[in-house]
């Protein structure tokens, strides 16, 4: 075979610039990319195969490990899908707690995004600040669920535990902390002229591609389309909360960054509302013995707005005590493969990492 014309650059899997364990095979001429091929599969653990051998509750522990930065939306979609098939009505308080958890997870993941976006452009201080501050949210999680990362908290039939005493106050305190802290982030990241120069007009997702590829989340909203599953296809108690869907029109990295910046503030406001409105009552319904718990045959598709966009869980029960099929749809499933390959063509080598971060590429939810 004749040697190729363009130079091959292996962007990952072992590369500081890649988000997670995946690979982009770049063909470059000069510092312009002429072709990009995404290769995934480095994280394939076959969850969807493993659930065939696990009962409904055991499967639940696998579910949260689909995506590392934000396990809760996945737990939530699974729990809701199970509830849909089994016809379980969960208490009102559980729904509010779930919203709180989901928004905390959203905050934590957005802080990680701050880190990733800063890191991808060489601004390591941003990552140090935001990941360091993220620990305060993880502390809340730890207090509530006992774990920092994999909470296994949003349970079919409600949530696993109620709030500990004084938890609401501590949440509010953390929110206060972040509200004081966010101007610093603005100063460091969003008002930095170099950051603006590096992101404006870079990594533009074509408006036609947006609908064609089924782009979701911030890339969609950064193109000026006001779409959010939390409102469009509302779940839990999001319809009882007042919040805004931030949009931008640039459709570049900068626009997506601004959308995320606004979303972080929206999340704080949602959490404040939840703390103010949360009703008293039960936090879950009693489930039967997990080993013997069977769910009537049927299927359900539950979707939710994760941080990087729409996620969904397609769950099929054949009437047994184990799921027949659980198929997860991650936001990055379209972003990371077909869309990224298109967006990267013509981009600069220097921007690959930033574009990936901006699209919210997360390999574990592609290959599961």
Cis (ω within 30 of 0) for the bond into 293? no
User: Of 194 and 244, which has the nearer Cβ to other proteins?
Assistant: 194
Indicate whether 10 belongs to the interface with other proteins (CB under 8 A).
yes
User: Of 12 and 158, which has the nearer Cβ to other proteins?
Assistant: 12
Indicate whether 227 belongs to the interface with other proteins (CB under 8 A).
yes
| Interface with other proteins (CB under 8 A), residue from 96, 129, 153, 283 | 129
Q: Write b or e for each residue in 296-329: b if 16 or more Cβ atoms lie within 10 A of its Cβ, otherwise e.
A: eeeebebbbbbbbbbbbbbbbbeeebbbeebebb
Residue with tokens 């319809």: 239
CA atoms within 13 A on the CB side of 247: 11
The length of the chain, given as a count of residues: 368
Picking from 157, 141, 194, 171, the residue whose alpha carbon sits closest to that of residue 60 is 157
Picking from 117, 168, 179, the residue whose alpha carbon sits closest to that of residue 276 is 168
| Interface with other proteins (CB under 8 A), residue from 106, 213, 230, 256 | 213
Picking from 53, 102, 106, 109, the residue whose alpha carbon sits closest to that of residue 80 is 102
User: Of 306 and 353, which has the nearer Cβ to other proteins?
Assistant: 353
Indicate whether 28 belongs to the interface with other proteins (CB under 8 A).
yes
Binding mask 70-109 for other proteins (x = CB under 8 A): --------------x-------------------------
Number of Cβ within a 10 Å radius of residue 46: 11
C-alpha span between 347 and 324 (Å, rounded): 43
Indicate whether 245 belongs to the interface with other proteins (CB under 8 A).
no
CA atoms within 13 A on the CB side of 336: 27
Stretch that binds other proteins, among 111-119, 172-180, 252-260, 264-272 (CB under 8 A): 111-119
| Interface with other proteins (CB under 8 A), residue from 88, 91, 149, 172 | 149
Q: Helices H, strands E: what count in the chain?
A: 15, 8
Indicate whether 291 belongs to the interface with other proteins (CB under 8 A).
no
Indicate whether 148 belongs to the interface with other proteins (CB under 8 A).
yes
- CA–CA distances in Å: residue 110 to residues 173, 263, 298, 339: 19, 8, 35, 21
| Interface with other proteins (CB under 8 A), residue from 91, 214, 224, 290 | 214
| Interface with other proteins (CB under 8 A), residue from 91, 92, 143, 147 | 147
User: Of 148 and 272, which has the nearer Cβ to other proteins?
Assistant: 148
- Helix/strand/coil for 23: strand
Stretch that binds other proteins, among 96-104, 168-176, 205-213, 262-270 (CB under 8 A): 205-213
For the CB of residue 174, give the shortest distance to other proteins in the complex, in Å: 14
Picking from 197, 263, 195, 259, the residue whose alpha carbon sits closest to that of residue 222 is 259
Picking from 123, 136, 40, 2, the residue whose alpha carbon sits closest to that of residue 340 is 40
Indicate whether 323 belongs to the interface with other proteins (CB under 8 A).
no
Binding mask 249-278 for other proteins (x = CB under 8 A): ------------------------------
Which residues from 29-68 bind other proteins, rule CB under 8 A? 29-32, 37, 40-46, 48-50, 52-53, 61-62, 65, 68
Which residues from 161-200 bind other proteins, rule CB under 8 A? 188, 192, 194-195, 197-198
| Interface with other proteins (CB under 8 A), residue from 33, 337, 343, 355 | 337
For the CB of residue 280, give the shortest distance to other proteins in the complex, in Å: 27
């Amino acid at each position: 075979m004749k040697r190729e014309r363009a130079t091959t650059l292996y962007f990952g899997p072992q590369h500081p610039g890649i988000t997670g364990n995946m690979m982009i095979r770049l063909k470059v001429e000069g510092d312009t990319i002429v072709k990009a091929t995404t290769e995934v599969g480095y994280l394939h653990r076959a969850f969807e195969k493993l659930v065939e051998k696990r009962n409904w509750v055991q499967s639940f522990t696998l579910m949260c490990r689909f995506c590392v930065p934000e396990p809760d939306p996945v737990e939530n979609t699974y729990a809701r899908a199970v509830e849909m098939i089994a016809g379980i009505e969960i208490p009102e308080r559980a729904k509010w707690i779930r919203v709180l958890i989901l928004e905390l997870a959203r905050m934590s993941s957005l802080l990680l995004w701050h880190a990733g976006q800063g890191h991808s452009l060489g601004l390591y201080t941003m990552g140090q600040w935001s990941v360091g501050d993220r620990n305060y949210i993880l502390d809340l999680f730890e207090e509530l669920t006992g774990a920092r990362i994999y909470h296994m908290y949003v349970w079919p039939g409600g949530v696993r535990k109620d709030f500990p005493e004084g938890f609401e106050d501590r949440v509010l305190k953390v929110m206060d902390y972040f509200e004081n802290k966010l101007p610093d982030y603005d100063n460091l990241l969003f008002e930095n002229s170099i950051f603006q120069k590096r992101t404006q007009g870079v990594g533009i997702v074509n408006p036609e591609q947006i609908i064609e590829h089924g782009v979701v989340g911030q890339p969609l909203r950064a193109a000026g389309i006001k779409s959010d599953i939390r409102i469009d296809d509302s779940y839990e108690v999001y319809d009882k909360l007042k919040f805004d869907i931030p949009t931008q029109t640039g459709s570049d990295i900068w626009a997506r960054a601004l959308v995320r910046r606004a979303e972080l503030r929206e999340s704080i406001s949602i959490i404040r509302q939840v703390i103010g409105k949360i009703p008293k009552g039960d936090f879950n319904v009693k489930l039967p013995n997990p080993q013997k718990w069977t769910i009537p045959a049927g299927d359900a598709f539950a979707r939710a707005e994760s941080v990087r966009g729409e996620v969904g869980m397609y769950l099929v029960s054949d009437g047994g005590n184990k799921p027949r099929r659980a198929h997860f749809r991650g936001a990055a499933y379209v972003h990371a493969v077909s869309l990224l390959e298109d967006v990267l063509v013509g981009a600069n080598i220097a921007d690959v990492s930033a574009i990936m971060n901006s699209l919210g590429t997360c390999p574990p939810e592609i290959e599961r």
